[in-house]
Structure 1
C-alpha cells in the first residue's frame, strides 16, 4: 500500500490559529506530509489564505475579503481569536506558502473558495502562481465549485484536481473522471470502507475531511485510504510512524 498523505487542515488548526504561517510551519514540525488551505481573493486581485468570506470569525470585523485591498487586509490580525499569545498573526498570501514550501517534501492541497463569491479569474491566477514556483506536480486543487475544477483542468491538465463534496455521491469516481478530477475529498460521513475499496479498484484516491479522532483515523487507514485531512497532523503521524518529511 502506498503511503497515506497526512494533510494538515488549514495547517495544524487544532494547535495554532488556522491558515497562518505559524500553523503551516507547526504542521510540518508535527509530521504533516501535506498542507490543506483555503484561497480567497482581495478587491485588488491578491490571493490570500483564509477560510471564511468575511473576517467576522477570525478577525472580529464583519468586512468581506472581496471588499478589502491587500494593503487593508494586512492591517487585520487573525491570531488572538484562537489565543491571546498569537495576537498579531496576519493573513498570508498564497505566495508566502508556496515560497516556504518549495524546498520541502510537502503536498499542497489548495482549496478555491469560490462557491459563494465567484472570484473572476481566480483559477488562472492560482495556476500562474503555481507555475511560477514550479510546483505543478505537488499541488492538488480542490473546490466545492466543480465548474471551477473543470476550468482548472482546462487551463492546466497536469495539475491534479479533487472533488469536494458533503453528501453521498453515487459512484463518485465515475463522476470525478467525467470532470477530469483525480481525487475525491468527501466529508468523512460520506465515506465507507466499501467505497474506499471500490475507489482503489477504480484508481481514484480518497482524502476525507476533517478526521481528528485517532480511532477513526485508524479505521480509514486499515480500509486502505490514500490520505486524511486533519486538524491534528501529530495524531495521524503517530499512527503512520512518521515525523516530518515524507512518510516512512
Structure 2
C-alpha cells in the first residue's frame, strides 16, 4: 500500500485562521504534503483565497466578494476572528500562495468556488496563474460545479481535476472518466470499502474531505485512499504513519 497524502484543509484550519498565509505555513510545519484552498473572484477580477462567497464570517468586514475590489478586501482583518494572535492577517491573492509554494514538492488542491456565484472567466484566470508560476504539475483543481471541470479540461486537457461530491455516486470512477476527471473528492462518510476498491481497480485516486477525528483518519487510511483533507495535518500524519507501519 502506498503511503497516503495528508492535505491541509484551508491550510491548518484547526490551528490558524483558514485560508491565510499563516494557516498555509502552519500546515507545512505540521508535515502536510498538500494544501487545499478555495478561490473566489473580486469585483475587479482578482483571484482571492476565501471559502465563503462573502467576507462576513472570516473578516471584520462584510459584503460579497464579487462586489468588493481587491483593495477593499485587503484592508480587512482576516485573523482576529480566530485569535488575537493572528490580528492583521489578510485574505491572500492566489499568486501569493503560488509564489510561496513554488519550488516545493507540495500538492496544491484548488477548489473553484463557482457553484453559488458563477464567476465568468474563473477557470481561465486560475489556469493562467498556474502557468505563470509553473505550478500546473503540482496542482489538482476541484469543484462541486462539474461543468467547471469540463471547462478546465477544454482549456487545458493536461490539467488534473477532481470531482467534489457529497452523496454516494454509483460507480463514481465511471462518472469521473466520462467528464475527463482524474480523481474523486468525496465527503469522508461516503467513502466505503467497495468504493475504494472499485476506484483502485479503475486507477481513480480518492482524496476525501474533511477528516478530523483519529478513528476516522485511521479507518479511511486503512481502506487505501490516495489522501485525506484535514483541519489537523499533524493528526493526519500520525494516523498515516500508524497505518503505513502496519502494512
Fold agreement, TM-score > 0.5: yes
Separation in 2 of the partners of 1:169 and 1:62?
37
Residue 120 of structure 1: aligned partner = 120
SS in 1 for 2:208: coil
Aligned-residue offset at 1:180: 0.6
Residue 246 of structure 1: aligned partner = none
SS in 2 for 1:58: coil
Q: Which moved more, 1:61-70 or 1:14-23?
A: 61-70
SS in 2 for 1:25: helix
Q: Which moved more, 1:79-88 or 1:39-48?
A: 79-88
SS in 2 for 1:162: strand
SS in 2 for 1:211: coil
Separation in 1 of the partners of 2:172 and 2:238?
30
Residue 217 of structure 1: aligned partner = 217
Separation in 1 of the partners of 2:190 and 2:240?
23
Residue 132 of structure 1: aligned partner = 132
Aligned-residue offset at 1:77: 1.1
Q: Deviations over 1:113-154 (max 9, x none)?
A: 000111000000000110111111110000000000000011
Aligned-residue offset at 1:194: 1.6
Q: Deviations over 1:3-61 (max 9, x none)?
A: 31111000000100000001001100100000000000000000000000001111143
Residue 110 of structure 1: aligned partner = 110
Aligned-residue offset at 1:190: 1.7
Separation in 2 of the partners of 1:147 and 1:15?
34
Separation in 1 of the partners of 2:241 and 2:188?
23
Separation in 1 of the partners of 2:188 and 2:2?
21
Separation in 2 of the partners of 1:217 and 1:137?
27
> Could you list the runs of 5+ residues in structure 2 that have no partner in the other structure?
243-247
Aligned-residue offset at 1:240: 2.8
Contact 2:39 2:49 in 1 (8 A): yes
> CA RMSD of the aligned region, Å?
1.1
Give the structure-2-normalised TM-score: 0.96
Q: How many residues align?
A: 242
Aligned-residue offset at 1:62: 3.0
Separation in 1 of the partners of 2:126 and 2:48?
10
SS in 2 for 1:147: helix
Separation in 2 of the partners of 1:91 and 1:213?
28
Matches within 5 A, 1:153-192: 153-192=153-192
Residue 206 of structure 1: aligned partner = 206
Contact 2:60 2:76 in 1 (8 A): no
Separation in 2 of the partners of 1:70 and 1:238?
39
Residue 46 of structure 1: aligned partner = 46
> Could you list the runs of 5+ residues in structure 1 that have no partner in the other structure?
243-248
